[in-house]
Amino acid sequence: MKDKVCVITGSTSGIGRGIADHFARLGARVVVHGRNVERGEAAVKAIKGAGGEAFFVAADLKDEASCRALITKTIERYGQIDVLVNNAADTTRGTIESTKMDLFDALIAQNLRAPFILMQEAVIHMKPRRSGSIVNIGSVNAYIGEPKLCAYSVSKGGLMTLTKNTSSLLNQYRIRVNQINVGWTETEGEHKVKTEGEGLGPEWLEEAVKTRPFGRLLLPHDIAYAAAYFASDESECVTGSIMDLEQYPVGAPPNW
């Protein structure tokens, strides 16, 4: 990963932050992205304090121009882009009955349309170099999904199809596209959703881990290790792959 230029969306917290920190430790030049400037600057400061290289770009990925500008600013800063990690996602709850169209449109824009635009823009700069890796962070909800995650699940299913479709074209340019379908992960965002969004007490985590065979939820570094494999030259012949990164509850079949 040394000196690879890596754009990681939604990397001021949670899974994205874990990926950014890990990539920087491996020697990558990291483009931290988010909407909160304070958190973005804190992430860059932490990476540089640990001896890494990073800079922050604020962008609302629901806006097409902002998506394209994220890639443009990366090129202006580093002159290339080697890795794009599409991690940013909106997980707002809603069933088929309760989801309003403005929410549906917002989730599709953030979780599916933005990765499409970012990939489209990144490929322009990857093609001439005949090199590049795109890692899409999906969800095990892509297969069926919890009823309360209807629009989110649809968006992640679409992302999985986008991964497969683009990989079949871009392999001729030696650009690889893979996806990690992540399971239940402990992040500050998940804690906020459980306590503020779903009204659960702080003991929600204690109850949640009882359902996991290894006694804990996934953590951001678990996803970061897998993302580093797909981003690095160690997976140079792997493209169009979907990896489920989850510890399914005891007795549950895969893609339950």
- pLDDT tens-place string over residues 56-70: 999 999 999 999 999
Q: Which residue has the higher pLDDT, 115 or 254?
A: 115
Kindly name the residue from 78, 152, 173, 248 that is annotated as catalytic.
152
Q: Is 225 annotated in the active site?
A: no
Q: How far is CA 202 from CA 27, 93, 125, in A?
A: 37, 19, 46
The per-residue pLDDT for 14 is: 96
Q: Which of 138, 176, 134 is nearest to 158 (CA)?
A: 138
Contact 119, 134 (CB under 8 A): yes
The per-residue pLDDT for 251 is: 64
Is residue 211 very low, low, confident or very high in pLDDT (cuts 50, 70, 90)? confident
Q: How far is CA 220 from CA 11, 105, 169, in A?
A: 11, 27, 31
Provide, rounded to the nearest whole percent, the portion of the chain with pLDDT above 70: 97
Q: Which residue has the higher pLDDT, 190 or 175?
A: 175
Contact 184, 208 (CB under 8 A): yes
Is residue 237 very low, low, confident or very high in pLDDT (cuts 50, 70, 90)? very high
Contact 73, 66 (CB under 8 A): no
pLDDT tens, position by position, 65-103: 999 999 999 999 999 999 999 999 999 999 999 999 999
* pTM of the shown model: 0.94
Instruction: Provide the sign of the torsion angle of the four alpha carbons 58, 61, 64, 68, taken in this order.
Output: positive
Distance CA 105, CA 148 (A): 16
Is residue 106 very low, low, confident or very high in pLDDT (cuts 50, 70, 90)? very high
Q: Phi first, then psi: what are they for 66, rounded to 5°?
A: -70, -35
Is residue 255 very low, low, confident or very high in pLDDT (cuts 50, 70, 90)? low
Whether residue 249 has pLDDT greater than 80: no
pLDDT tens, position by position, 194-210: 898 888 998 899 988 98
Domains of the chain, earliest start first: 5-183+218-245 (3.40.50.720)
Q: Which residue has the higher pLDDT, 189 or 139?
A: 139
